[in-house]
Amino acid sequence: MIKFKNVTKIYLPDTAVLQDVSFEVAEGEFVSVVGKSGAGKTTLVHLILGLETPTSGEVYFGQTNLNDADSLEIQKIRRKIGVIHQDYKLLPRKTVYENVAYVMQVEGKENEEIEKEVPRVLDIIGLSEKVDNFPDQLSGGEQQRLAIARALVNRPDIIIADEPTGNLDPYNAYEVVLLLQKINQAGRTVILSTHDREVINKLGKRVITLENGRIIRDEKEGKFII
Amino acid sequence: MLTNFKRVLGFAIKDFTRNKGISVAAVFVLIVTIMLVTGLVFFHKTVGYLTSQLQNKIDITAYFKDNAQEEDILSVKEEILKISPNIKNIEYISKDKALAIFNGKHQDNAVMARALQEVGSNPFLPSLNITTNGDPSQYEVISNVLENSDFSKLVDKVDFLQKKDTIEKIYSITSSINIFGLLLGAILVAVAVLVVFNTIKLTIENSKEEISTMRVVGASDWFIRGPFVIQGMLYGIFAFLICILITVLATYFLSPYISAVLPGFNIFIYFLTNWWIFVLIQLGFGIAVGAISALVVVKRYLEI
């Protein structure tokens, strides 16, 4: 589903964030990408989203080489990916309801479907009491849940979670991981980027370990070892 | 397509009403700009009226020989009209009419009346009084034609040379006023447009992160750009509504004062007869500047 082929990313003048990275993620897989801060995890996520282009090498989403994709193809690919960002990336001037509805509107979904689906997802995520609140009126945990709701509402093929537990207490972090596991059990591909040892060790899923921009380990049932 | 447009419109209206402080600031800056443009239009019209009044006061007179026949003079008039397209007015004044005008002017002046009696007959020559667009070269061409062509045997004299200096001075003053007005107008409008652009840039600056989030979730460029552009248009529409109200009130209340300085020029009547031009200028300028500024700023953020 996603394929990195000898990908190198260098930020000018000479900071190599990723070096000769190659791996594949199959449909329905749960893959964790681990590494210290600055190991290149976020750059890897940005490359999948087409927010950055590799200095050399190729990134494929399905059959599409993102290097050759035009902006319309990139937009379509982004709509197939639900992303949970470390800094949430919520729309500050839209309410909780509107934040979730926005991604469905981007997709061109009908109003009836949006009116049915958004409250359902907000209910699952526990934010149905706060539909009219703005993001700055929510706690950190609630903002994180809102980001998750937004990533899930379009039932995307793949969920990418970039440090989703970074700003959460252990209880909320565990809740988020459980949710991602459930999503994966429902058949979706999940890519989790984190430096949370506890989380990875509990999961018992495939782990790709990055160090200084290189893959140093890729294990089917991996542990957090750095 | 229609659903998307409705959504984009909905986003724009919500953002416009939710960010009241920013909206008020943008509308205010647009009001200042539109009023400046409106003021320049009125200024141009007032200066135009003033200069045309000045130019109307300039004319040259071709005096014909005493024995010249009226039909010959009228045929000269027709020929001159054919030569120059810039002639504003050409009036034939017969001997009798010249005498009547003189008498009218000096009816209370006994000395003048006695002088006429001394002369005995009507001493005035028939003449053509010619007014052009004020350009001295036009007067020179007409004067040359009258003095050097076949008409010369009918013409006694043309008073162009006596009036040449005055004509040139007035023409140079009115031309300078027009050029200065245009230059000043262009500079002020450019500065005003830049101020509006920067204000709208500041309003959108706050949304930089938002725009990047919209890109990440796969929104198309127009889905992102649309609400900002429509918001820019809304600023323009609101600014227009306020400006047209200010213009109606200002022209109505200032009209008597301006008419006192410039008799015959009623600024309120001018506004009423040309109201649709002002609507077009104010609405068009407001919407165009608001929308284009938003378009340019968002485009820049979309490229980052």
- Which value does ipTM take for this structure? 0.82
Distances in Å between the alpha carbon of A148 and those of A32, A89, B13, B52, B304?
Answer: 17, 11, 27, 72, 26
Nearest to B39 by CA among B189, B139, B219: B189
Contact by Cβ (8 Å): B95, B73: no
User: What is the arithmetic mean of pLDDT over B248-272?
Assistant: 90
Model-wide pTM > 0.80: no
Mind telling me how many Å the CA of A149 is from chain B's nearest CA? 13
For residue A148, which residues of chain B lie inside 8 Å, CB to CB?
none
The pLDDT of residue A4 is above 90: yes
Q: Write out pLDDT tens, residues B113-157.
A: 788 778 778 888 888 888 877 777 777 777 777 777 777 777 788
Mind telling me how many Å the CA of A162 is from chain B's nearest CA? 13
For residue A77, which residues of chain B lie inside 8 Å, CB to CB?
218
- For position A189, what pLDDT does the model report? 94
Mind telling me how many Å the CA of B220 is from chain A's nearest CA? 7
Q: Token digits for B11?
A: 């986003």
- For position B11, what pLDDT does the model report? 93
Distances in Å between the alpha carbon of B170 and those of A44, B134, B189?
Answer: 75, 8, 28
Nearest-CB residue to B220 (from A75, A81, A83): A75
Backbone angles phi, psi at A21, to 5 degrees: -90, 125
- For position B304, what pLDDT does the model report? 53
Contact by Cβ (8 Å): A207, A224: yes
Backbone angles phi, psi at B54, to 5 degrees: -65, -45
Please identify which residue in the block is written with the tokens 């200024």: B43
Contact B218 A78 (CB under 8 A): yes
Q: Break chain A into its structural domains and give their ranges.
A: 89-156
Q: Write out pLDDT tens, residues A34-91.
A: 888 878 888 999 999 998 999 999 999 988 999 889 888 999 999 999 999 888 889 9
- In one-letter notation, the amino acid at residue A9 is K
Banded model confidence at residue A144, pLDDT cuts 50, 70, 90: confident
The pLDDT of residue B188 is above 90: no
For residue B210, which residues of chain A lie inside 8 Å, CB to CB?
91-93
The pLDDT of residue A98 is above 90: yes
Extract long-range pairs of A68-76: CB within 8 Å, 24+ residues apart.
A71/B221, A72/B220, A74/A50, A75/B218, A75/B219, A75/B220, A76/B218
User: What is the arithmetic mean of pLDDT over A179-189?
Assistant: 89
% helix / strand / coil in chain A, to the nearest 5? 40, 25, 35
- What is residue B106's three-state secondary structure? coil
The pLDDT of residue B228 is above 70: yes
Distances in Å between the alpha carbon of B117 and those of A16, B100, B108, B109?
Answer: 112, 14, 15, 13
Higher pLDDT, B163 or A155: A155
User: What is the arithmetic mean of pLDDT over A170-183?
Assistant: 83
The pLDDT of residue B27 is above 90: yes
Phi-psi sector, A89: left (phi>0), alpha (psi -120 to 50), beta: left
Which among A85, A102, A112 is the top mutation candidate for probing chain B, defined by the most B β-carbons within 10 Å of its own β-carbon? Answer: A102
Banded model confidence at residue B57, pLDDT cuts 50, 70, 90: confident
Contact A91 B219 (CB under 8 A): no
- For position A226, what pLDDT does the model report? 64
Q: Are strands A189-194 and A30-34 parallel, antiparallel or unpaired?
A: parallel
* CA pair distance A220, B6, nearest whole angstrom: 48
Q: Which of residues 180-239 of B touch A (CB under 8 A)?
A: 207, 209-210, 212-221, 223
For all residues of chain A together, what is the average pLDDT?
89
Which among A52, A71, A79, A105 is the top mutation candidate for probing chain B, defined by the most B β-carbons within 10 Å of its own β-carbon? Answer: A105
Nearest-CB residue to B210 (from A79, A85, A91): A91
Banded model confidence at residue A8, pLDDT cuts 50, 70, 90: very high
Please identify which residue in the block is written with the tokens 């999940």: A190
Phi-psi sector, B59: left (phi>0), alpha (psi -120 to 50), beta: beta
